[in-house]
Amino acid sequence: MSNTPETPAPVATPAAAPAATPEDRTVAIVSYLTIIGFIVALILHMNKKTVLGAFHLRQCLGLIITAIALGVAGMVVMFVPVIGWMAMMVCWLGLLVFWVMGLIAAASGQQKPLPVVGEYYQKWFAGAFV
């Protein structure tokens, strides 16, 4: 072992993302406003494709599919008294929290993936909305 102090490795600073324009944010925000809003955002995105819009369309598509899967699972689990009901309430509340987090990120122009599932949504739907 040597007594010379080790020099820290240079830290690479991430490239600053371009500032989101109001048009970019519009697609991102509208995508979270119901299924109709998602369709409207998809049409707007097809006219002018943006990285921010594509990111939030993928996040929202993942939330929609998750909500459908929760609804189907809920039909089975709801037959279990109390425990099933509580489990579904926790799942729906978690989905609501994710929706609000996505909407806030879209309104602030950030490409911030949702906790736990956001990275998976980006990976699974990587080819969508490009």
Q: What is the spatial distance between Cα 62 and Cα 22, in angstroms, rounded to a whole number?
A: 24
Q: What is the DSSP letter of 1?
A: -
Arithmetic mean of pLDDT over the chain: 84
Pull the structure tokens for residue 130.
């490009």
Q: Kindly report the pTM of this predicted structure.
A: 0.77
pLDDT, residue 16, reads 46
pLDDT, residue 11, reads 45
pLDDT, residue 63, reads 94
Q: What is the spatial distance between Cα 111 and Cα 102, in angstroms, rounded to a whole number?
A: 9
Q: What is the spatial distance between Cα 59 and Cα 48, in angstroms, rounded to a whole number?
A: 18
Pull the structure tokens for residue 120.
């998976």
User: 19-66: per-residue pLDDT in tens?
Assistant: 667 777 888 999 999 899 999 999 999 998 889 999 999 999 999 999
